[in-house]
Each structure stands twice: as C-alpha cells, then as structure tokens.
C-alpha cells in the first residue's frame, strides 16, 4: 500500500510540474491582416461577430486586437496565446474547416468582395528576459 501511495504521489507531482511548465512557456501568435478602407467595417463585423465566436469553439485565446494605419495601408493586428504549437495547429485546422466559417466567408465575399488582403502569421516564443 505504501508503494502504491508513493507511486501515486510521484505521478501526481510529475503531472502537476509538467502542467506548470506548459503554462509558463506558452506560444504566442501574431496575425496581421491587410484590410481595405472601403469595406473595413464589413471586415470588423465579420471578425467581431462571427470569427471570434467560432474561434471560441476551438479554444482560441485572443489576448489583444489593434488596427494600424499608414499612408499605404490599413492593417488589423491581433495576438493569440496557446499552450503549445500542437494545440495551435489543431485549433487552426478545426477553425479553417468549420462549415459555418466557410459559409460566412463565402457570403461576405459574395456581398462585399474581398475584405482581407495579405495575411501575415508569426509564431512567437517569449524570451526568458522578457519583462512580462
């Protein structure tokens, strides 16, 4: 019985430490979408009202959202946080294959034309000397 309890304690401690490591070292993702001034409100509607709702089904954790404007273009920028790259890849696969999302994209494109231009995607790993 003592051996069983010691083994159980060891396994529980190991699992707990492994979970803490995963939580301490998340993966961040930076997404930058070129959006068009003539229909950016439609883009925001699609993202806010549809994409974010569907992303929740796949456990997307959006940490912040921005808009950036220069002389040449307007960009929609957002950050995501993931426990690891495997989870990130699986979530994106699910989202991109989601039938409701595919239909919404078709409807918006048919009604408003392209609401997104170039998309940049960057996976970021936080450095140990990052201030936060």
One pLDDT digit (tens) per residue for the chain, 132 residues: 544 444 444 545 555 555 544 456 899 999 999 999 999 999 999 999 999 999 999 999 999 999 999 999 999 999 999 999 999 999 999 999 999 999 999 999 999 999 999 999 999 988 889 897
Structure tokens at 20: 């803490």
Q: How confident is the model at residue 39, as a pLDDT?
A: 93
Rg (the chain; Cα; Å) = 20
């Amino acid at each position: 019985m003592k051996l069983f309890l010691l083994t159980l304690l060891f396994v529980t401690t190991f699992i707990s430490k492994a979970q803490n490591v995963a939580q301490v070292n998340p993966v961040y993702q930076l997404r930058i979408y070129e959006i068009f001034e003539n229909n950016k409100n439609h883009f925001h509607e699609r993202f806010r009202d549809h994409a974010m709702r569907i992303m929740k089904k796949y456990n997307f954790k959006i940490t912040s959202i921005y808009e950036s404007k220069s002389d040449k273009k307007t960009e929609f920028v957002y950050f995501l946080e993931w426990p690891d790259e495997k989870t990130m890849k699986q979530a994106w696969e699910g989202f991109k294959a989601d039938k409701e999302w595919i239909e919404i994209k078709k409807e918006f494109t048919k009604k408003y034309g392209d609401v997104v231009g170039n998309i940049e995607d960057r996976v970021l790993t936080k450095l140990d000397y990052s201030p936060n």
